[in-house]
Each structure stands twice: as C-alpha cells, then as structure tokens.
Amino acid sequence: MFDIGIGEIIVIGVIGLLVFGPEKLPRAAADATKWLRQIRGMATGARKELADSAGLDLSDAVDSVKELRDLHPRRLAASLLEDSDDDAPPSRRSASPEPGGSARPTYDPDAT
C-alpha cells in the first residue's frame, strides 16, 4: 500500500519517541492504529453505500483493476525474462539426477 522501507519506519519511530516519550509512545501507536481502522471501516461503508444506492456492481471494476496490475512494467518484464526448462540453453537447464541418486548443481557462468 505505502512504499515505506525500514529506514523510514526507524525515522518515524525516533520522531515518535522524541514527540511522545518512551512511556506514552505505545499508547499513541495503539490509538493511531484504532483511528486508522475506524477511518478504513467508514470509507468501506461509504463506498458500499454509494454503490448500493447507485445500483453499481463494483466487482467488475475490481476485476478490471486486477487485470491492469498484470500490465505493470515490472510484472511484464519478469514474465518475459522468465526462463522455462525447455527454452533455456543447455548450461542453464536443471541437471538430471545422476545414477547415484543425487542431482549435480548446474554451472552458472554469470555467478562466478
């Protein structure tokens, strides 16, 4: 949902410690979580109420948004660059098990 990394979370925590202090910070975090849940619940209720009063079926819109997610450039690139065992060059195919029963790892020239 939000693109927040561990560094940003640490900075927010330090600022919270400075503003609220160590004894009030857990209570403030719990209150903020409760408020966010209430706001999210009110938004969901309002969306459902508007859709019901307008007679709209939002499931089609949600499905089309999910289809649009598949067109994200990173997902497209990952699907295009994915190698299957049949299309991979011989050096990258998975090794077949040896007669002893153990599989030899494949040689990856890019890794060395």
Q: Can you give the pLDDT of all 112 residues of the chain as single tens digits?
A: 567 789 998 998 899 899 989 899 889 889 989 999 999 999 999 988 887 887 777 677 777 777 877 778 888 788 888 765 555 555 444 444 445 555 666 777 777 6
Residue 43 lies in a domain: yes
Contact 62, 55 (CB under 8 A): no
Residue 105 lies in a domain: no
Residue 69 lies in a domain: yes
Residue 102 lies in a domain: no
pLDDT at 61: 72
Structure tokens at 32: 């903020």
Residue 46 lies in a domain: yes
pLDDT at 13: 87
Please state, in angstroms and rounded to a whole number, the distance separating the CA atoms of residues 1 and 39: 16
Which residue matches tokens 């919270």?
A: 16
Please state, in angstroms and rounded to a whole number, the distance separating the CA atoms of residues 55 and 49: 10
Residue 21 lies in a domain: yes
Residue 40 lies in a domain: yes
Residue 84 lies in a domain: no
For 8-46, the DSSP string reads HHHHHHHHHHHHH-TTTHHHHHHHHHHHHHHHHHHHHHH
Total domain count, the chain: 1
- Domain range for residue 26? 6-77
pLDDT at 93: 46
